[in-house]
Amino acid sequence: MSRLRGRIIGTGSYLPEKRLTNSDLARIVDTSDEWITTRTGITERRMAAEGEFTSDLAAEASRRAIQAAGIAADTLDLIIVGTTTPDLIFPSTASIVQYKLGISSTRIPAFDVQAVCAGFIHALAIADQFIRAGSCWRVLVIGAETTTRILDWTDRGTCILFGDGAGAVVLEAELNDGERGVLSTHLHADGAQIDLLHADGGISRGPPPGGGMGVLRMQGNEVFKQAVKAMESCVDETLLANNLSKEQVDWLIPHQANIRIIQSMAKRMGMSMERVAVTVDRHGNTSAASVPLALDEVVRAGRIQPGHRVMMVAFGGGFTWGSALVKW
């Protein structure tokens, strides 16, 4: 059926300069390169510099996506940022990015979405709805985080996992019969599982007993099981909604939390790891930035070709999870 669909016309990403290797972490907590590599697949991650904020990473990734799209920034009509580590309580990081991109004079709407590691998928799904409704033509969708700023650097179970970064895509409306663009998006949440993954302080609840603004707390092994189950069922739901078999998916762009989760999903989908984007080894878990960072890497390597079906799927705190199927 002919209707408006959002097509990804440009991708971009940005990683801060500073690298933090497993050996660097072994000097901070009781861990080892061997443990981290074996259990997670991570060898290094990036860390934003002092004075470098989520909006800086987001703006740089956006400039690259806008350039790849070959458009002028002031032709955008909406900016959505998926982030859990905004620059400030308010204004939104998206508003700051709008200003940093120099497009504030066009007064386009800009807002953040908070869905932790599934933040980019949520932002993409919202952007797609605006496009399908005919309300927007070009939307800048960003996932950006400085997660290293909400870590407990004495907790070896979490501080070794996360990194900073940003990824962005430009989505453009196109009238077509489904031959390309976002085919469907699927979002879920389960607020009952807060104890397994949360930040232990906040604005309304206030600081944790020891003070500070609150840090990430996670029961990793339980989250691991739930993440695998939720992402696998979300992939099944997406295939069913599009009347496709798993063999008809060309690329899997999964959230980059742990190589073992990624391998388990690839195995279940019968996909060779050649068709799975993997950045967790060099980026760690960059939360909302992980999917667009991984997407940008395979796009820039020229590996995703027109006609390919690309399955993006993510899971994070909330719990929140979701998927987006895109035909390139």
Instruction: For ligand ACO, give the closer residue by CB, 153 or 179.
Output: 153
Identity of the residue, 110 or 123, whose beta carbon is nearer to ligand ACO in the bound complex = 123
State the minimum distance, in angstroms, from the CB of residue 199 to ligand ACO: 9
Q: Give me the least distance between CB of 227 and ligand ACO, in Å please.
A: 4
In degrees and rounded to multiples of 5, residue 34 shows phi and psi of: -60, -45
Is residue 73 within 8 A of residue 66, CB to CB? The reply is yes
Residue-wise DSSP of 151-172: --TT-TTTTTTB-EEEEEEEEE
**Nearest approach, Cβ of residue 237 and ligand ACO (Å):** 19
**Active-site hit among 117, 136, 159, 234:** 117
Does the annotation count 255 as an active-site position?
yes
In angstroms, what is the minimal distance from the CB of 277 to ligand ACO?
A: 16
Q: Catalytic residue, from 122, 159, 283, 285: name it.
A: 285
Interface residues toward ligand ACO, by CB under 6 A:
31, 35-36, 39-40, 116-117, 156-157, 160-161, 197, 220-221, 223-224, 227, 257-258, 261, 285, 287, 315-317
Gyration radius (Cα) of the chain, Å: 19
Other beta carbons within 10 angstroms of residue 205's beta carbon come to 10
- Of all residues in the shown chain, the one whose CB is closest to ligand ACO is 220
To the query of whether residue 285 is one of the catalytic residues in this protein, the response is yes
Say if residues 14 and 64 touch (Cβ distance below 8 Å). Answer: yes
AA identity, residue 222:
E
Tokens of 304: 């995703």
User: For residues 103 and 161, which CB has a smaller minimum distance to ligand ACO in the complex?
Assistant: 161
176 is catalytic: no
- Closest CA relative to residue 284, chosen from 25, 14, 46: 46
- Residue 228 sits at φ, ψ, to 5 deg, of -60, -50
| CB closer to ligand ACO out of 6 and 318 | 318
Q: Which of 122, 186, 255, 283 is catalytic?
A: 255
Other beta carbons within 10 angstroms of residue 11's beta carbon come to 23
Catalytic residues: 117, 255, 285
